[in-house]
Structure 1
Amino acid sequence: MALNYSLNQWDKLVRYVDDSHLNIDNNRAERAIKPFVIGLKNWLFSNTENGAKASAMLYSIIETAKANGMIPYDYLVKLFEELPRRKAEDNLDNLLPWNVKLG
């Protein structure tokens, strides 16, 4: 059964050999979504729309910081220190993870 499946999927299985940019596995994608899978049970308790939006924003900030090579805790500290100093109409582009230098 497994061999038959492999033979039927052969073109897809060896696709990465034809293009050196492709990975043989999807480990990077799996690692990226792991926090969401783990958090799934926690989100069941986001019983209000505002709570769900706040959770989504926090996860987005943390995962974007990680994707930009930052330690999320350090980035959040920077945000919590800097945001109270800003006015609502201020441009926040310099606080985006790819623009912030920590340390």
Structure 2
Amino acid sequence: ADVAIGKIRKLYAIEKRIEKLPPEEKTRQRQQLAQPVLDDLKAWLEKNSTRVPRDSLTYKAIQYTLNQWELLTGYLADGRLNISNALAENAIRPFAVGRRNWLFADTPRGAKASATTYSLIETAKANGVEPFAYLHHVLQHIGNARTVEDIEALLPWKTPLKKMQEG
């Protein structure tokens, strides 16, 4: 496992070095720098899958990685993609943790209202807008929205609200 983790760390080190590059250059750099690391990792996984017991967690992890290889390496083809889905997972974590509490929404309308509100909050966060200020802005202006364009103007990436400070 230490060997595999070492190879994966190399991939993340490459990502750290290229994180500020434009997408096209990221794609080129990934194909030049990360592709050989991934090829080496895949060869190592294939070689070692026969060396561990079939009922072990290590074997299952190796097989899962090999079975998902195309998806795992998809980020090489598009510099807009991330190597990890950690950002998406972090965004939905509060929702997943709180889902048991929402079992007690009394009606389907209440559940839909909760889901809508939560979507607004997480979308604001994802766009760097402070959620309370964003909800306040939307609630102040939604009543005057008459067209699709008016509603689209309320989207967090289009609002005039100050972006959150990145810390």
Q: TM-score, normalised on structure 1?
A: 0.74
Relative to structure 1, the CA distance from residue 72 to residue 3 in structure 2 (aligned partners, 3 Å threshold; closer, same or farther) is same
Residues 9 and 56 of structure 1, relative CA distance in 2, 3 Å threshold: closer
The one of 23, 38, 51 equivalent to 2:110 is 51
The separation in 2 between residues aligned to 1:80 and 1:39, in whole angstroms, is 24
Partner of 1:37: 96
Q: Which runs of 5+ in 1 are unaligned?
A: none
Match of 2:134 among 54, 75, 81: 75
Aligned ranges for residues 56-67 of structure 1 at < 5 Å? 56-67=115-126
Structure that is richer in helix per residue: 2
The runs of 4+ residues in structure 1 deviating greater than 3 Å are: 12-18
Amino acid at match of 1:95: L
SS of structure 2 residue aligned to 1:70:
coil
1:98 alignment partner AA = W
Cα distance in structure 1, aligned partners of 2:138 and 2:75? 44
Decide which structure has the larger Cα Rg and report it. 2
Which runs of 5 or more structure 2 residues have no equivalent in the other structure?
1-55, 163-167
Instruction: Say what the alpha-carbon RMSD is for the aligned residues.
Output: 2.8
Query: Given residue 5 of structure 1, which amino acid in structure 2 is its aligned partner?
Result: K
Cα deviation per residue 1:64-96 (whole Å; 9 max; x = unaligned)?
111212111110121233235x16x35322111
Secondary structure of 1:102's partner?
Answer: coil
Matches within 5 A, 1:12-31: 12=68, 15-16=72-73, 19=76, 21=81, 23=83, 25-31=84-90
Q: Distance in 1 between matches of 2:63 and 2:97?
A: 33
Counterpart CA distance in 2 for 1:52 and 1:10 is: 37
Structure 2 equivalent of residue 4 of structure 1: 59
Sequence identity (%)? 37
Q: Give the partner amino acid of 1:2.
A: L
Residue deviations 1:15-62 (CA, integer Å, cap 9, x gap) = 449827452x43222212112112212211112122111111101111
8 Å Cα contact 1:75/1:102 also seen in 2: yes
Q: How many residues align?
A: 100
